[in-house]
Each structure stands twice: as C-alpha cells, then as structure tokens.
Amino acid sequence: MKNKTTAIFKENTSFKVFLWSLLVTGLGFGIYKGIIDNYMAEIVQMGEFQRGLAEFFREIPGLMLIFILAILFTFSAQKLYKLGAVIMLIGMGMLSVVRPTMVLVTLSVFVYSLGEHIQLGMKNTLTLEYAKENQGGQALGYQNALYQIGTLAGYGVIIIAFSWLFTTKPYKPFFLVAAGIMAVGAIFSFKIKGESEQDKNKSRFYFRKKYKKYYMLEVFYGARKQVFLTFGPYVLILHYGASASVISLLFAVSAIACFFLAPMVGKIIDKLGYKIVMISDTLILVIVCFFYGFAHHIFPEKVAFIVCCINYVLDAVISLASMASNVYVQDISDSPEEVKATISTGISVNHLITIFIALFGGLIWNKLGIEYLFVISAILGLCNSAYAATIKTSKQSKTED
C-alpha cells in the first residue's frame, strides 16, 4: 500500500494524514447516510414532496459555496478543508439532539451539508495538489476508493445494528456515534500541514471564459445525479418498503463496487483521456434510468425491487466518471490555486440546477409519477455527453481565455 501511494502522491506533502481524515470522515458519513432517509420517512414522516423540500435546503450550501469562498478568499485549501470538518461536526451533533420535526432536522442537515460542501471542492483540490505529475486521475480514484472504504464500514455498522442487535430503531444514538467519528476526522484534518500557494491578485468571484464548458458540464451532471441522490433511496423506501438495514446494504454494495472500480476509472481517465470517459458513460446511464423508473411496470414487485437495487449500484459506478471533469480543469489550469477556485465555482454552478431538481422533483413524482423523474435524468445525461464531445483536450484550450 505504501509503494502504491508513494507512486501516486508527492512525498513532501501531508497526503497521508489527509487520506486518514478522508477514511474516518467516510466512516461517519456511512453511518449518517445509512439511516437518514429512513429517519426522515419513518420518524419525521416526510412524504416525497417534503423530502424534496428538505433536499432543496440541503443543497443550498452548494449554491452558497461561491459566496462563502468569496468571503474567505484569503483562506488556503487546507484551511477551508479544516473549516468544513468543524461545521460538519456541528451539524451531525445537532442531528443527535434536536426533536424529530421537519424544520429542526432540515436545519441540522443544512448545517452538516454546509461543512460537507466546503470540504467537497477542497478534497479534490488537495488530492490534485498532492498528486505527482500525470497522476491526477489515479490520485482522485485512490481518494475516492479510500473514502468508500470508510463509508462501507459505516454502512456495515448500520446493517449489523438494525438487522441483529436492536429490535427498535435507535436513530439518534447513531447520529451521536457519527458525530464522535466526525470529531476524530476533524482532528486528523487539523494535522494537515502546509498552505497552498495563494494568488494575491485573485478576485473574490472566480469565473473565467476558458472554463465555460466545465461549468456547463457541471450543470448537466449535477441535475442528473440529483435525481438518484435524493429520490433513488426514497423510491425503495416508500414504494418497495426497504428498511434502514436494506438501504445500508445497498449503499455498502455500491461502496464496494466504487472501491474496486474507482482506481480503475482513474487509470482509464489518465490513459484514454477525460473526454472519452465523459462521453461514454451515457449509454449505461440511459439504461439505468429506464429500468429505475419503469421496472414496476415491467416486472413483479419483488423482481422490480431487485432490478432497481442493481440499477442504483450501476448509477453509483458510472458517477465515478465525474472525476474526469476535475482532471479536465487541471489540464487547462495555470496553477493549483486556479484549480481550487474553479472546482469550487463549479460546485456552485452545479447547484444552480440541483436545488430546483430537489425542490420540484418531489412535486413531479407526486403529481406525474416517478417515471418522469428518471426520463428527465436520462435526457440530462445525454445532454451532458453531447456537450462533453465539444471540449478540447489540449492545453491549447487555454488560448480561449
């Protein structure tokens, strides 16, 4: 393992403690993610529209990110990563103590999401900064795989606890456990040394013409992935009656698949190029969306449930292709600082559409049926690939600026 990491990451960096923070944070997230959908459905009594509304507020921090980073424009990627860890800890702690009302739970998730989104862009930025030359794709794949190990362990905790150890559903105690684990992750993050090189002349708001295609790709990708992120598990819970242990098992299988395939996808990005990867995942996506939305019309209920579970895992795997857009940014950027600013701006651009998908997705499901949501997701995926086909793969694309 040591030889593997040293072949990908620079030795004179804090990549080891950074990777440890990812692993531990992934464990806390796995516990949280394994129960949050069932907690909202069973305890908070959120229906499909209310779930979409809660997701709308959960995604607001992503849209806010560009303004947050504008305020904190003097902060390095390392400082922002640490700040995100602290805010995530606060949000998780709130979930473990607040009453199970829609307002308080949504507020807690909002706070946690704020920290998560601050860390999100910095996680990819630091990974690319610590990676050796021409190893960006593999570094992102390794980072993703390590995070999946942590989340897998978290899902395993929920599977065991909710299947065999408890007859009741102790959601809040497990939010508290997740908060304790997040505290450990925050401690690791504060051990990260060094500061990314800062551009003293950079503007508070970072938009550049040469990244316009990256921004547009983020809009398409964000819209299509939001359908699965928000409503994928909820379909299984409300339509098929999936329990927290079953949902966690599904997440665990997805994490295992991503763990093994993330490094492979990273290598494919480095060898074949990000453009090919961006385009080629669409065929699988269309198939996944079709069966997720229409399985209950084609198969008996039990078979349809299995088909949906398989397609959820497939969506998690093809979502790994999103790493390609980060490598694209690195390819046409002029500095690590520019990579950080661009990826963070991309997250906010991404959320311009995802918040509306979250808000109106539940309404579409409630009024028209779940089929329409996944048809929309498939169409957005096709748009994503069609637009990706227009990008340039050479650093000469910098001349567009």
Burial zone of 396 (CB within 10 Å; 0-12 exposed, 13-18 middle, 19+ buried): exposed
Q: Which two tokens stand for residue 49?
A: 């529209």
The Cα 209–Cα 211 span in angstroms is: 5
The conformation of residue 384, written as its DSSP 8-state character, comes to H
The Cα 161–Cα 401 span in angstroms is: 54
Three-state secondary-structure class, residue 85: helix
Percentage helix, strand, coil for the chain under 3-state DSSP, each rounded to 5: 85, 0, 15
Residue 231 near residue 370 (C-beta atoms within 8 A)? yes
The Cα 25–Cα 89 span in angstroms is: 10
The Cα 352–Cα 253 span in angstroms is: 30
The Cα 391–Cα 369 span in angstroms is: 35
Q: Which two tokens stand for residue 83?
A: 């700040």
For the segment 328-344, what is each residue's pLDDT rounded down to a tens digit? 887 877 777 777 677 77
> So what's the pLDDT on residue 205?
54
Q: What is the CA radius of gyration of the chain?
A: 20
Task: Please give the angle made by the CA atoms of 235, 28 and 86, to the nearest 5 degrees.
Answer: 115
> So what's the pLDDT on residue 187?
94
> So what's the pLDDT on residue 198?
52
> So what's the pLDDT on residue 366?
78
Q: Which two tokens stand for residue 21?
A: 């923070």
> So what's the pLDDT on residue 82?
93
The Cα 363–Cα 354 span in angstroms is: 14
The Cα 400–Cα 383 span in angstroms is: 23
The Cα 171–Cα 43 span in angstroms is: 9
Which stretches of 329-377 are assigned E, i.e. beta strand? none
Q: What string of pLDDT tens digits covers the 401 residues of the chain?
A: 455 677 788 777 778 888 999 999 999 999 998 899 889 988 998 887 888 888 888 888 877 877 887 788 778 888 899 999 999 999 999 999 999 999 999 999 999 999 998 888 788 888 888 888 777 778 887 888 888 889 889 988 988 888 777 767 788 899 999 999 999 999 999 998 877 655 444 444 567 777 888 888 887 777 777 777 778 888 888 888 888 888 888 888 887 887 788 778 888 888 887 888 877 777 777 888 888 888 888 999 889 999 999 988 888 888 777 778 778 887 877 777 777 677 777 777 777 777 777 778 778 887 888 888 888 888 877 887 788 888 776 544 444 44
